[in-house]
Amino acid sequence: MRTANTHRNMARCAATATLACVLGLGLVAPAYADTASELAAARTKLEQIGSQTQQIHEELSAQTQELDQTAGEITQKQQEIAEGQAKLSSYVAGEYKTGGLSLLQVLTGVDDLGDMLNRLFYYGKVSDKQAQTIQDVKDLKQQLTDKQAEQEKNVAATQKKVDELNAQQAEAQSLVSSLDSQLQAELAAEAEANAALQAGINASTAEKATVSNDTAGTTENTNNGGGTTNNGGNTPAPAPAPTPQPSTPAPAPTPSAPSQSVDGGSVVSRAYSKLGCAYSWGGIGPDSFDCSGFVSYCLTGRYCRLGTTGTFMGWTRVSDPQPGDVVVNSYHTGIYIGNGQMIHASDYKTGVIISSVAAGMNNNYIFVRY
């Protein structure tokens, strides 16, 4: 019966180990990898749209300034036209239309008919020149008006681009926010799954140890506790007395937490030295970390991984946390630095930061010591 139970236990352990391997393969390509990739692409797109928006705003500003300048020039030319027309009208009316003393003054001192005609022709040319000047100003004003119309068309087209980019920017920002929330949810679910997997592996390991002890007991019973064997009626020869063997000390129990001690001040110093570093899944440094990779570095001073949050939760729990202790729950961990605060690799958005432990107490944080 014991042998049958042993085989069943071994089969159960093998199934558990197989499940752990299958789940472990899932960790190589985590479910949230696609979301993280999409989030990175969305953030890149948002930055590109922001750069384009800045450029188009600068272009719109320059075009608006040019349009204002053209409008000022048109106003000035319009004023010049009005002033020139008033002067010409006054001149013609006073000198040529009314005649009288002004015309006599023009002809005063004329010696012959040829001289008189020359003077009349000269004053006629003066009026013609003024009229031409006014016409030139009118032509320039028309050119400026045409230029203004073209500039207004360009400003309208540029403003349309600005409106389109603003809409694209709002859409891209909404996508980034949505993907960021989705990624955080998937990270939390992944961490919870990892904790469950670790618990299953721990249970499987304990069950294997029980099966091994049962197997050893069965073997001992078979060798030493068997009944009398029929040997054809002959009395079996007495077995020689066993040779005394030196006693073997029982192996020391495996500690639930690492046996080495660390200096809390050194742990905290290492934690402070990595403030501002980036967050990356699976990161163990030197410039980017995930939460357990960061804690592993702070505790050891090496860019390695001591385990996961499930590992840390199995360490010795303390009720009087000191700087250098570990703050941990089933899916996140950090280094306690005193005064109710911890340093931890938070997420992709914030990286390694200082946070209040109390703010996360609803996440069932505990304190353990390495």
Q: What's the whole-number mean pLDDT along residues 112-116?
A: 62
**Of residues 312 and 113, which shows the higher confidence score?**
312
* Bridge partners for 355 per DSSP: 342
Average pLDDT, whole number, for the chain?
74
Phi, psi of 82, deg, nearest 5: -65, -45
As a whole-number percent, the residues of the chain with pLDDT over 90 amount to 27
Query: How much is the pLDDT for 275?
Result: 96
Dist. CA 254–CA 47, nearest whole Å: 53
Dist. CA 132–CA 144, nearest whole Å: 18
**Of residues 155 and 122, which shows the higher confidence score?**
155
Q: What's the whole-number mean pLDDT along residues 35-53?
A: 80
Selection from 32-36, 90-94, 105-109, 366-370 with the highest mean pLDDT: 366-370
| pLDDT of 197 higher than 50 | yes
Query: How much is the pLDDT for 255?
Result: 38
Split at pLDDT 50, 70, 90, the class of 89 is low
Query: How much is the pLDDT for 3?
Result: 44
| pLDDT of 234 higher than 70 | no
Check if the beta carbon of residue 315 is closer than 8 Å to that of residue 292. Answer: no
Split at pLDDT 50, 70, 90, the class of 273 is very high
| Least confident range of 148-152, 189-193, 338-342 | 189-193
| pLDDT of 236 higher than 70 | no
| Least confident range of 123-137, 221-235, 280-294 | 221-235
Cβ–Cβ contacts within 10 Å for residue 309, how many? 21
pTM for this prediction: 0.36
Split at pLDDT 50, 70, 90, the class of 120 is low
CA angle 208, 27, 270 (to 5 degrees): 95
Split at pLDDT 50, 70, 90, the class of 324 is very high
Query: How much is the pLDDT for 55?
Result: 85
Query: How much is the pLDDT for 229?
Result: 42
Cβ–Cβ contacts within 10 Å for residue 51, how many? 10
